[in-house]
Chain A
Amino acid sequence: MPATVPTKLKANLRVQRFDPESERPETFYQDYEVEVEDWFTVLDALIKIREEIDGTLSLRCACRASICGSCAMRVNGQAKLVCKTKLDSVWSPGETVIIDPPGNMPVITDLVADFKPFWDKIRQVQPYLQPTGPEPVAEYLAPNEDMVHLAGVMNCIMCGACVSDCTVLEVDDRFIGPAALAKAYRFVADPRDGKKKERLEALNGDTGIWDCTRCMQCVEVCPKDVAPMERIMVMRDQAIEEGFSGTVGARHTESVYNSVKRSGRLNETRLAIESVGVMNIPGQLAMAPVGVRALLKGKMPSPIDHKIPSKDAVKKIVEKSEETSK
């Protein structure tokens, strides 16, 4: 063979398949070898498989330009928009790239998931403006500077990548989840909305803002830098500011804050007691066995503050920040 003929690059993809209409529906992996160009995205490779190798492979895609949000799926175990993911960023020659449908949603077929649970939760947070007061003559106006902080969260294209990889949804499908909570923030923080308090009250309960573990999966996988977890953190603070301070989560945050303010350090034992609630006797009793075992192992931290020598300087910094944030 003349040396001038370039060897075509072949990529190996292992794709999760599922055919609900087969006699015994079950998921399995199918391996494909496909000729690729060095500029291919993962989506280019999948489309080429569908068009040239296996017309039965099902996947969702439309715009191919990371605008429509149709093609989120797992690549080597992590949710990605495959139209935005260059093949060579997740695969090198000789390796196999593994493609699964998005997680935390039922699979309809192959790489296509049922987004009904996703949309149900978006609806649950009432994703529309609810102004109060008299209707303006024209549209509801807001100054640019009041809206600019919402630009990031408005970038959400509802692709479901964050929901796919959320570690809480993995163990509890009732959790409202990162996408819907980010959408909720978009209205909680909109100066034209009149239902901020009601919204926060609804999000303050079970399955809401306090159920997030702050694992940052959603921040990591979001293809649009929406950073859902950071929005959830802001709503936690706003919920406390609105007076919803009776949750375990609110007491947990306050306990960490006050402990650092008093001593510069975390007081783990007080954190446990204060989070559960000092007057919550059943809660305290439920915690007791682990506390007793820690005590027996000689590793129960003292409930007395572990003060750092420069605690007074730290307290001044905290107090100053409280004055400025007022």
Chain B
Amino acid sequence: MKYAFWPGCVALGGTPELYQSTKLVLGKLGIEVEELTNATCTGAGVLQEKNRKLGDTLNVRTFAQAEQMGLPIMTICSTCQGTMAQAQLAVIKDDGYLADINKDLAAEGLEYHGETVTKHLLWILVEEYGLENLKKHFVRDLSGLKFAPFYGCYLIRPSDALGFAEVPERETSLERVIESTGAEVVDFKGARACCGLPILFINQNNSLKMVATHTGTAKDLGADAMVTPCPLCHLNLDGYQGKAAKKNRGSAVDLPILHLPQMLGLAMGFTPKELGMNKHMVSTSRLQEQVVSPAGV
């Protein structure tokens, strides 16, 4: 298995532990990746506010780069995945629009033919790698731990761009991957809610209320950690959890927020430090103690 890898700006910036843990986990799984070093930011829907077509053009440019490599694209960010899926849907259903965009890519010798698809690592594990194969690499039993899923808006909405009708298992993919580690899924409404990051600077009160509500609810339901496939959610849920809890609950929530590959890495027997769990704002030390020593490692 080989993919053209687009880590996204946040995995390359504010959450280096996501990049670090992804690389370890992919190596263990034997999934090869070639990084798209010339891909741009997807625009995250923000650039699209100003110029939708420019956003689509930059994303199609990335698709074309992967197509030249003859590889499908792997993302590790819900926001990148959703934004790229929306761009792909826009050009797939409108040949004229695609031809128009391809004209702007010609200067770089690029052209997208609609062949390369973009999939989040979470989907790749469920749809292509297979959970049974994944489990073969787990050496630590995480049963006894409770993990709350947190998808990130763009990995679940709008469902038509994300192919839920064609691939229904995407809708519950995170719960299934959590279960595959032996951990228990905390069933809570917040799993598909918004983390509030897009309005963190615009309306911080509202943004922090979202963080406090979702982390607090998960914690009250017994979660030992929250697991997210979106580094933007991680920025808010981890980075601002302390402030949000103090302001809205009066006391700390102290719920560690794990990137999806960190949870997988724990099950695979990597040390918390190897997975960058020391780089979190909310301490992961209690969770580290709860994780039993790797069997046979």
Interface residues of A (CB under 8 A from B): 77, 167-168, 170-172, 175, 206, 210-217, 219-220, 233, 236-237, 240, 247-249, 252-254, 256-257, 259-260, 264-266, 268, 272, 275-276, 289-290, 293-294, 297-301, 306, 308-310, 313-314, 316-318, 320-321, 325
Contact = CB atoms under 8 A, between A and B. Distances in A.
Contacts, number: 164
B157 A213 contact: no
Interface string B224-253: 000000000000000110010000000000
A313 B107 contact: yes
Residue with the greatest number of chain B CB neighbours at <10 A, chosen from A237, A297, A325? A297
A249 B46 CA distance: 10
A318 B37 CA distance: 19
Interface stretch (B54-62, B138-146, B267-275, B288-296): B54-62
A214 B153 contact: yes
Given A219-B157, A308-B37, A171 B206 contact: yes
Given A219-B158, A253-B46, A317-B58, A306 B281 contact: no
Given A171-B209, A317-B61, A325-B51, A264 B158 contact: no
B210 A171 contact: yes
Interface string B51-91: 10110011001000000000000000000000000000000
Interface stretch (B23-31, B123-131, B173-181, B191-199): B191-199
Contacts of B193: 167, 215
B132 interface: no
B9 A266 contact: yes
Contacts of A247: 202
Residue with the greatest number of chain A CB neighbours at <10 A, chosen from B105, B201, B209? B201
B108 interface: yes
B44 A237 contact: no
B243 to A, nearest CB: 7
B13 A306 contact: yes
Contacts of A306: 9, 12-13
Contacts of A272: 201
Nearest to A321: B54
B189 interface: yes
Contact of A290 (B9, B54, B108, B243): B243
Residue with the greatest number of chain A CB neighbours at <10 A, chosen from B15, B108, B206? B206
B239 A290 contact: yes
- In terms of DSSP, what is the predominant structure of the interface of chain A? helix
A266 B44 contact: yes
Given A213-B194, A309-B38, A257 B47 contact: yes
B243 A298 contact: no
Contacts of A293: 239, 281
A175 B239 CA distance: 25
B43 interface: yes
Given A77-B189, A214-B198, A233-B48, A168 B206 contact: yes
Contacts of A257: 46-47, 50-51
Residue with the greatest number of chain A CB neighbours at <10 A, chosen from B41, B44, B205? B41
Given A206-B203, A216-B157, 18 more contacts: A171-B210, A172-B209, A213-B210, A214-B198, A216-B158, A219-B157, A219-B158, A220-B158, A256-B43, A264-B40, A275-B202, A289-B243, A293-B239, A298-B16, A298-B279, A299-B17, A306-B12, A317-B58
B217 interface: no
Contact of A317 (B49, B54, B240, B281): B54
Nearest to B10: A268
Given A171-B209, A248-B202, A314 B49 contact: no
B45 interface: yes
Contact of A252 (B9, B108, B202, B213): B202
A205 to B, nearest CB: 12
B14 interface: yes
A215 B194 contact: yes
B68 to A, nearest CB: 13
A308 B203 CA distance: 32
B159 interface: yes
